[in-house]
Structure 1
Amino acid sequence: MWPWAQLLGFNLYWWLAVTWQQAAPLLLLLGLHLLCSPDARGDLRLWPLALAGCLLDGLLWRLGLFQFSHGFPLWLGLLWLGFAMTLGQGLRWLLALPRWQQGLLGMVGGAGSYVAGAAMGSVHLSWGIGISAFTLALIWMWWLPLLLWVMVKLEGEPR
């Protein structure tokens, strides 16, 4: 039951991050997650994935793929923290899929989240919706399987 609750909770977390763009409610929800998690220690081990995601988004921001109204936002870094823990909990089922299916889901879900964020006004896709979505789909085609592979390496022994 927890993985499904966590996955649904992340969707709320994503929506709050994108619409409010405030750190305080996100920090509160991260704390609540760690308090309720059956494996908070394992969740904390995955935070380097959030750093990797922030570095990738920072690079894409510097390259001009997307823009934010006030520089690189803190809420996006916190969103990456929530996503890293979601990989270890609510999205763990992705590990059973072949890499090509992980890549396909990354293309749709990863690129789709940026496109949805642009539609909600939290990010501006500078290269236009078509080129930006295509570029993000290509990146997420390999990024999600890579994050899952690194997650397994960070965890060490299986849960």
Structure 2
Amino acid sequence: MRFVVISLLFNVFWFTAALGQSSTQWLLVAMLAAAIFYQRDVLWAIITLTPIGLVGDNLLIHFGWLATEPASAWMPVWLVLLWCGFCAFVWLLRKIILAHSLWAMSLIGALGGASSYVAGERLGAIVFPQPWLTTSLVLVAVWAVYSVILIHLMRWLVDKTQPTTLASGGE
């Protein structure tokens, strides 16, 4: 049930970002604040995981694979917030994600991530300056890389956020 509820909430977040863009940034911030209030370690996940997407997507924009309207050399704030929301989403579902093989989760991430960009392009949130099929294939590859890096970072963050236990007998 938790998976379904969190996934539905993330889809609301995604559509709010993709359809509202700059006009709904305040709502995206409020939703992120609610996620952090719900589970405080979401903040550490956002801080740790989000830079992967920000760097990667800025490179995609810089090299002409993605564009936004109005045209900009950098990601718009709504897309930065979308990355924050995505990282909160995967963190809240980390037990499910980390329980599966890296290969399976990377495949799901590659297809799901690229599909979200294709949907965003169809809704007019982003633009594919290069041919649609080529861009889609590039996005599948990029999201496979994102997924591997994010999963490794989540494992590292889980290890860092787990309370340590004393090895000696109760001291």
Q: TM (normalized to structure 2)? A: 0.84
Q: CA deviation at 1:127?
A: 1.2
Q: CA deviation at 1:158?
A: 4.6
Matched, 1:28 2:30: yes
Q: CA deviation at 1:92?
A: 3.7
Q: CA deviation at 1:68?
A: 0.6
Alignment of 1:1-159 (within 5 A): 1-22=1-22, 23-35=25-37, 37=38, 39-40=39-40, 42-47=41-46, 48-70=48-70, 71=72, 72-90=75-93, 92-155=95-158, 156-158=160-162
Q: TM (normalized to structure 1)? A: 0.90
| Contact 2:118–2:136 under 8 Å retained in 1 | yes
In 2, distance between residues paired with 1:62 and 1:93? 34
Please, which moves more after superposition, 107-116 or 2-11? 2-11
List gaps (5 residues or longer) in structure 2. Answer: 164-171
| Contact 2:102–2:151 under 8 Å retained in 1 | no
Q: CA deviation at 1:157?
A: 4.6
| Contact 1:106–1:142 under 8 Å retained in 2 | no
Runs of 4+ residues deviating >6 angstroms: none
Please, which moves more after superposition, 90-99 or 110-119? 90-99
List gaps (5 residues or longer) in structure 1. Answer: none
Name the Cα RMSD after superposition: 1.6
Number of corresponding residues: 156
Q: CA deviation at 1:7?
A: 2.0
Identity, in percent, stands at 28
- Structure 1 or 2, whichever has the larger Rg, is 2
| Contact 2:91–2:154 under 8 Å retained in 1 | yes
| Contact 1:7–1:91 under 8 Å retained in 2 | no
